[in-house]
Amino acid sequence: INTKIFENSFSASKAVAKEIATLIKAKQKTNDHCILGLATGSTPKGLYAELVRMHKEDGLSFKNVISFNLDEYYPMEPDSIHSYVRFMKELLFDQIDILPSNCHIPDGTLTKKQISKYCAEYEQKIESLGGIDLQILGIGGNGHIGFNEAGSLQNSKTRLVALDHITRVAASKDFSGLSNTPRTAITIGVKQIMEAKRVILMAWGEGKSNIIAASAEGEVTNKVPASFLQEHDNVVFVIDKAAAKKLT
C-alpha cells in the first residue's frame, strides 16, 4: 500500500486538508459536486480544524460538497453529546458553509424495522450522486474501518453491526463506562468504501503501528478489514512516524 509518513499528525492533517481543498476547487471549476466520505473519532480532528481554518482564513467554500459519514452508534439521539451528528456539527459542519441538507450521517433514531430499508437508501443516495470521490478513514486498533469489525466481508453492505468488545472498551472512556457504551452501530459496508474513487486512511501514534503494518503489509483477510484496502487501486495511508514504526 502506498504510504505517506509525516513527522507528526499536524503536518499530515494539513497535507490531507490540502488534497481535499484541491479536489473541492477542481469540482467547483466544472460546476460539479464533491462527494466526501467522512469519519469521526480522534484521528480526523486535526484535519477538520485545518479545513475550518481554510474556510475562515483562505475563503475555501464547501457549498458544492455533499458528505456522507461512515457510521453512527445505534441507538443514538442526534443531540446527545456522544452522537457523531453532534461531533460533526461542532468540529466541522457548523463552522463552514456546507449546506446542512448536504450532510448525511446514519440515523441512530430508527426503529429496528426501519434500518435495512434506510441503509439501502443511504447507499442508493451515494450511488445516484456518482459515488464517493474521496473517502477519509481512521482505523480501529483491531483493524476496523467504519464499524466494519473483524469478520466483515469485502462485499458487506451498509448495515447494523455489533461492536467488538475492544471497540467498546476504546469508546467507553467517552461514555463513562462500558455499561453505558452502545453495543451496536450503523456503518457503511466495506463494499462502499472499496467503491470510493480515492481512499485516505489516517493513523497517528505508536498504538496504531501494529495494525498499520498488518493492514498495509499483512495477509488480506477479513480478520483485519483494513487489509482489504490493499486491493483498492487508489488508496494512501497517511500516517505519522510513530504509526509507521512497524512497517518493513
144 near ligand F6R, rule: CB under 6 A: yes
Given the complex with ligand F6R, which of 64 and 211 has the nearer CB atom? 211
| Shortest Å, Cβ 63 to ligand F6R | 24
Distance from C-alpha of 138 to C-alpha of 153, rounded to nearest angstrom: 18
Distance from C-alpha of 216 to C-alpha of 128, rounded to nearest angstrom: 31
Q: What are the backbone dihedrals phi and psi of residue 158, each rounded to the nearest 5 degrees, phi first?
A: -65, 130
146 near ligand F6R, rule: CB under 6 A: yes
CA distances from 14 to 4, 96, 194 (A): 13, 17, 24
216 near ligand F6R, rule: CB under 6 A: no
Q: Which stretch binds ligand F6R (CB under 6 A): 6-14, 127-135, 141-149, 172-180?
A: 141-149
Between residue 147 and residue 176, which ones bind ligand F6R under the rule CB under 6 A? 147
98 near ligand F6R, rule: CB under 6 A: no
Residue nearest to ligand F6R (CB): 138
Member of 37, 106, 108, 140 binding ligand F6R (CB under 6 A): 140
Distance from C-alpha of 181 to C-alpha of 240, rounded to nearest angstrom: 29
27, amino acid identity: K
Distance from C-alpha of 44 to C-alpha of 136, rounded to nearest angstrom: 8
| Shortest Å, Cβ 112 to ligand F6R | 21
SS3 191: helix
Between residue 58 and residue 87, which ones bind ligand F6R under the rule CB under 6 A? 70-71
How many chain residues touch ligand F6R (CB under 6 A)?
A: 14
Member of 12, 17, 39, 226 binding ligand F6R (CB under 6 A): 39
Residues in the chain: 248
Q: Does residue 228 come out as left (phi exceeding 0), alpha (psi in the -120 to 50 range) or beta?
A: alpha
Given the complex with ligand F6R, which of 64 and 82 has the nearer CB atom? 82
Taking only Cα atoms into account, the Rg of the chain, rounded to an integer number of angstroms, comes to 17
Cell 459496508: give the residue: 189
Tell me: cis bond preceding 75? Omega within 30 of 0 counts. Answer: yes
Q: Which stretch binds ligand F6R (CB under 6 A): 8-16, 17-25, 40-48, 151-159?
A: 40-48
Given the complex with ligand F6R, which of 64 and 98 has the nearer CB atom? 98
Q: Which stretch binds ligand F6R (CB under 6 A): 22-30, 33-41, 113-121, 217-225?
A: 33-41
- Pick the closest to residue 113 from 163, 181, 160 (CA basis): 160
Report, as residue numbers or ranges, the catalytic residues. 149
40 near ligand F6R, rule: CB under 6 A: yes
Cell 437508501: give the residue: 121
| Shortest Å, Cβ 39 to ligand F6R | 4
SS3 163: coil
Binding site for ligand F6R (CB under 6 A): 39-43, 70-71, 138-140, 144-147
